Structure 1
Amino acid sequence: MPTNILMPALSPTMEKGNLAKWLVKEGDEVRSGDVIAEIETDKATMEVEAVDEGRIGKIMVPEGTVDVAVNEPIAILLGEGEDDSALTETAKPKAEAQPKAAKTESTAPEPSGPSEAAHGKAPATEEKPKQPTANGHDTSERVFASPLARRLAKEAGLDLKALSGSGPHGRIVKADVEKAKAAGGAEKAPAQEARAGVSAPTPVSDEAIRKLFPEGSYEEIPHDGMRKTIARRMTEARQTVPQFYVTVDCVIDDLLALREQVNAAAPEKDGKPAWKVSVNDIVVKALGVALSRVPDANVTWTEGAMLRHKHADVGVAVALPNNGLITPIIRAVETKSLSAIAKEMKDLTARARERKLKPEEYQGGTTAVSNLGMYGVKDFTAVINPPHSTILAVGAGEKRPVVVGSKIRVATVMSVTLSCDHRAVDGALGATLVAEIKKLIEKPIAMLA
């Protein structure tokens, strides 16, 4: 029986991807482990390997196709002894070969994303949509939803009737329930407002916005996957995470002197220094050490419990060419030397700009650093990116007058602002953490002890 090759879920949050390139063609023989295609996610370009051996019978999705849904068939693999006539049969994926993309008979709906398949469950037999009567009321109270979505909605106290489904035929799946939970039950708001006789605010349409500007006065640039993801996650963060901010000014003359000494001591490799520590590298180290000293702030909020992490995994915001942003992660920062952080950051930044990072290199983390100092920005507030509970915004170092004892002197001062998730980090705890960060930035030699 032919086997469907499905669009893989290359990360836990991936819902769609772009099929950038086929590395095989119809008729090619492949073995398990052979690289057959390149898939672009919103963050990276990744290679896809065959999980079975056989012959590529048909390529169903041509290269260059964008927004291919996870678990959608992209090609058909013919097994030993099968010829092209077998392509007319309904191909099913082998559960033992692709357990995360298991499907039922062709009469059952496809899973809409990786979330349900990842639980090792095939989707239930499709339920029939509710049939309205002549007066417009439903003849049945059944809601078109998967069993997993029903259970998760019940646990979260969400009304399935208030959710919109993104699965086949409008079926509610796990992703829809998780979206409603992340929005704090926002999916229920329209129904609740309707019962109260209040109309929900209607967003301004794209067409209405275009009419505000003379035709031909602008260039229309379609959103790519990364921009859509940034917009969605930052909107969710602002709507669902109660954030507060604490700012301190740090005198960084000692930090600059230490940086100069560390770089001067770097051994040469191929006629160049083996590393070059930046101010940002030292700030990353300071944040990691500070979290190890204030462990109650090194946490992640979940509805059921607080996750207190054993290490400080610090994400570092990297601007990408042609717009966009990604946050590669330095793991266990508090255990690493400045030179190790500098070398790792250089490698991650280079591969991030080539969209070659692996998901585990930019997903997760316990906090992050966003530095706009190189653009001359004095201070700003950064948006927390869940599951983080904090993010440190770093401004430019500049000469300012400071009071030392009873005298005024000129020093290099850098402002940093810590954004905190108030569900996980209270005001006093946030102030304690930023005070520890300030202490380490101003006396960085303490991080090397």
Structure 2
Amino acid sequence: MTDFRMPSLGADMEAGTLVEWRVKPGATVKRGDVVAVVETQKGAIEIEIFNEGLVSEIVVPVGGRVPVGTVLARLEGAAGAREPAAPPPLPPPAPPVSALPVTPGRPRISPAARRLAAARGIDIQRVAGTGPAGAITVADVEAVSPAPGAMPPQRPGFDPAAMRQAIAAAMSRSKREIPHYYLSQTVDASAALARLERMNRERPPPERLLPAALFLRATALAVAKTPELNGVWEDGRFRPGDGVHIGWAIALRGGGLVAPAIRNADRRPLDDLMAALRDLVLRARSFALRSSELSDPTITVTSLGDRGADAVLPIIYPPQVAMIGIGRIVTRPWVIDGTLGPRPIVAITLAGDHRASDGHRGGLLLAEIDRLLQEAETL
């Protein structure tokens, strides 16, 4: 007999409300199956199971609000554990962004329709598709859009004020418990931007790479070389990650943010990373994330983009031991071979946990990110 418990979806979660069971007693489940939906301050999250067996008992009924760690259901003949014996295989390359995304259990929907639904707060699960093979089109989303001037509906379970309180509690805990140190590196982004320009020259706008993909790729490769910064602090000791699973901070419309994981980011090519980023942003703003995406990050990156500040000093998200902040790219005077000239510059900042690492290792990480961005053709 194995207990299936309410998972922790981050340091800002203390309890969750069971809003849907997707299995019944007697059902057979396997690792990765979505078995329930739980409401948290982050909205409604699909909960995956990490064991195999037969559901023998549903302990918490729909509507029950229980603390993290509470037994939700019991399984017979369960096998497997949260941690696999070996790292999971590299996921297959993502389909082109222009293709209709197909995920088991999710409706087919065009990228433009998904973006429109996210912008208007529309749950795509409730939209009937009229496109090829039942795909949801822009017209389908328009048909269920609220009237002009109406407030877009919030996904059930999402309370921006509650999320803000939860974020504040997690950040207060972080500053209280984690001995932060900060390092910053100013990086010339010329080589990175030049590569993006060459790669995007023949691509339609929806398939073009953004600077975030290069920053993510360089960061992931650098983190793989500094394992002291990739993992979590639990039970008074550092536990290294089983891979480089980078949490990418995403601002939500209406307030708040989430940082779902891109698993094995150091093993994924640029196009795959760009597709993964776009997919995460769309699903995060549609409140369609899975529990593993919120619980798996081993390090988090916050990138301000071209609308942000020049630099950011991140606060580590516990139980992780490091966080990287990337400012916007700005044109600044820069000395090249003794000559002063304008260059696109970006500030990259590291917040490290002194219990797990020190400034020397943190400095090596930033230096490696810098080196990789200067050699952007190799990314």
Interval of TM-score (by shorter of Structure 1 and Structure 2): 0.5 to 0.7
Shift of 1:101: 5.2
Q: Which amino acid aligns with 1:252?
A: A
Which position in structure 2 is the counterpart of 1:363? 295
Partner residue in 1 for 2:194? 257
User: Residue 276 of structure 2 aligns to a residue in which SS?
Assistant: helix
Mapping for residues 45-444 of structure 1, pairs under 5 Å: 45-46=44-45, 96-98=56-58, 113-115=67-69, 117=71, 224-266=161-203, 272=204, 275-444=207-376
Deviation per CA, 1:241-276: give whole Å up to 9, x if none: 11111111110011011112222354xxxxx56632
**Are 1:40 and 2:39 matched, yes or no?**
yes
Q: Secondary structure at the match of 1:362?
A: helix
Contact 1:399–1:411 (CA under 8 A) maintained in structure 2: yes
Identity, % of aligned pairs?
27
Residues 396 and 43 (structure 1), Cα distance of their counterparts in 2 relative to 1, 3 Å cut: same
TM-score relative to the length of structure 2: 0.64
Take 1:368 and 1:48, find their aligned partners in 2: how far apart are those partners? 21
- Give the letter for the 1:115 counterpart: G
With over 3 angstroms needed to count, the CA separation of the structure-2 counterparts of 1:44 and 1:263, relative to structure 1, is farther
Structure 1 224/440 Cα, relative in aligned 2: closer, same or farther at 3 Å?
same
> 1:328 touches 1:349 (CA, 8 Å); kept in 2?
no
**Closer, same or farther: CA 387–48 of 1 in aligned 2, 3 Å:** closer
Judged with a 3 Å threshold, the aligned counterparts in structure 2 of structure 1 residues 424 and 223 are, in CA distance, closer, same or farther, namely: same
Q: Which residue of 1 aligns with 2:140?
A: none
Change (3 A) 1:282 1:234: same
- Seen in structure 2, the aligned counterparts of structure 1 residues 15 and 295 have a Cα distance that, compared at 3 Å, is closer
Asked whether the equivalents of residues 249 and 413 of structure 1 are also in contact (C-alpha less than 8 Å), the reply is yes
Q: Which has the higher contact order (CA 8 A, sep 6+)?
A: 2
Q: Is the 8 A contact 1:314 1:367 kept in 2?
A: yes
CA distance 1:350–1:115, change in 2 (3 Å): same
Q: 1:370 to 1:37 in 2, by over 3 A?
A: closer
CA distance in 1, matches of 2:235, 2:223: 22
SS in 1 for 2:315: coil
Write the letter of the residue equivalent to 2:330: E
Aligned residues of 2:57 and 2:73 also touching (Cα < 8 A): no
What TM-score, normalized to structure 1?
A: 0.55
**AA of the residue aligned to 2:169:** R
Match of 1:219 in 2: none
Are 1:251 and 1:411, in contact at CA under 8 Å, matched by a contact in 2?
A: yes
- 1:395 deviates by 1.0
- Native 8 Å contact 1:9 1:15 kept in 2: no
Deviations 1:123-164 (A, max 9, x none): xxxxxxxxxxxxxxxxxxxxxxxxxxxxxxxxxxxxxxxxxx
Residue matched to 1:160:
none
Deviation at 1:375, TM superposition (A): 2.0
The structure with the greater share of residues assigned to strand is 2
Match in the other structure for 2:115: none
Aligned to 2:364, what secondary structure does the other structure show? Answer: helix
Structure-2 separation of matches of 1:299 and 1:10 = 18
Equivalent pairs, count: 276
1:119 is displaced (CA, Å) by: 11
Per-residue CA deviation, residues 187-222 of structure 1 (Å, 9 max, x unaligned), is xxxxxxxxxxxxxxxxxxxxxxxxxxxxxxxxxxx8
Matched to 1:248, the amino acid is Q
Letter in 2 for 1:43: K
Question: Matches of 1:417 and 1:238 in 2, distance apart?
Answer: 17
- Secondary structure of 2:164's counterpart equals helix
Alignment partner, residue 179 of structure 1: none
CA distance in 2, matches of 1:349, 1:333: 16
Q: Which residue of 2 aligns with 1:149?
A: none
**What amino acid is aligned across from residue 307 of structure 2 in structure 1?**
Y
Local SS of the residue matching 1:396: coil
Residue deviations 1:300-350 (CA, integer Å, cap 9, x gap): 323454222342111110000101100011111110001000001111110
* Consecutive unaligned residues in structure 1, runs of 5 or more: 1-7, 24-29, 50-94, 103-109, 121-221, 267-271
Q: Deviations over 1:412-447 (max 9, x none)?
A: 111111111111111111111111111112222232
Q: Distance between the aligned counterparts of 1:347 and 1:440, measured in 2?
A: 25
| Stretches of structure 2 lacking an aligned partner (at least 5 in a row) | 28-33, 49-54, 75-158
Counterpart-to-counterpart distance in 1, 2:65 and 2:257: 30
SS of residue paired to 1:410: strand
Q: Separation in 1 of the partners of 2:343 and 2:371?
A: 16
What letter corresponds to residue 9 of structure 1 in structure 2? M
> RMSD across aligned C-alpha pairs, in angstroms?
3.6
